[in-house]
Amino acid sequence: MERGILKYMQKIKNKSIVFIQKDKLEYFDEIQSRIFQFVFQPTIIQDLEIVDVGQLNVQLKSFIETNKLTVSNILFVVAESIIFEKIFQSVPNRNKELEIQKYLENIPFEHVSFKLIDGQKDYKVLAINKEFFAELKMVFESLGSKIVSIIPQSALAENYRNSQNLNSDLIKYILSHFDPLQKQGFIQTESNLPTPTLSGEEIIGEKQVQTPINQNPINKYRLPILLSVFVVLIGVLSYFY
């Protein structure tokens, strides 16, 4: 069964682009050579948080079926305006992983995916709401398509980093660089970040997981012994009384 699905996925040749913004997504279908728009209803999605998962699935599937969007390899492009970004100065003896971890803790999403971009004198951390994009990915893939990558808009050429909408020039650029752009995704870049243990906290490509250290285990025999002594004392007092 799994081999059959994999073989089916490998046969997909059609390419599509999904440009995701704060209040909508734009979908370009290569076969139809058209752009379709899906507006996020505030009762379903608000500030990139999913309010109603069930309705999102229903409406997005209806959008795909109504517009007869074909099964394809889809590249998610995340608009610059909805990405959390911070630049850190590279300072000797400063704990880079701990800095990243503290920054991710302050992002107002329960789970995030992030991308690290190293420079000569500084480094940049980009982060997105992991659950939001995972849900969109699941809906498209449940109908046969494949999400090949989720990339930030900043991964595009300089001319297209401030584009507010999909246009013919932007589409041509993405399609002509479709394969190399996939390597700029949030998921792929996460694996390049070291995962050392820092005071009991491990970075795992999203928010940290707390792992207790140097914690003395509770003595499981202490309570029964104290209870036994208490019972004996009560018995002695009762006898003298």
Query: Is 233 a domain residue?
Result: no
Packing angle, helices 130-142 and 53-66, rounded to 10: 40
Query: Is 103 a domain residue?
Result: yes
Give the pLDDT of residue 36: 97
Give the pLDDT of residue 233: 62
Give the pLDDT of residue 146: 96
pTM (predicted TM-score):
0.74
Question: Residue 41: CB partners within 8 Å, gap ≥ 6?
Answer: 55, 59
Instruction: Give residue 70's identity as a one-letter amino acid code.
Output: T
Query: Is 97 a domain residue?
Result: yes
Q: Over the stretch 107-160, which tens digit does the pLDDT of each residue have?
A: 988 889 999 998 889 999 999 999 999 999 999 999 999 999 999 999 999 999
Provide the residue range defining the domain that includes 55: 2-210
Give the pLDDT of residue 220: 42
% of residues, the chain, pLDDT over 70: 73
Query: Is 170 a domain residue?
Result: yes
Separation CA 61–CA 16 (nearest Å):
16
Separation CA 201–CA 168 (nearest Å):
46
Question: Residue 204: CB partners within 8 Å, gap ≥ 6?
Answer: 195
CB 162 within 8 A of CB 176: no
Query: Has residue 22 got a pLDDT over 90?
Result: yes
For the CA atoms of the chain, what is the radius of gyration?
A: 26
Query: Has residue 169 got a pLDDT over 50?
Result: yes
Task: Identify the CA nearest to 15 among candidates 173, 121, 193, 226.
Answer: 173
Q: Which CATH number is 88's domain given?
A: 3.30.420.380
What's the number of domains the chain is made of? 1
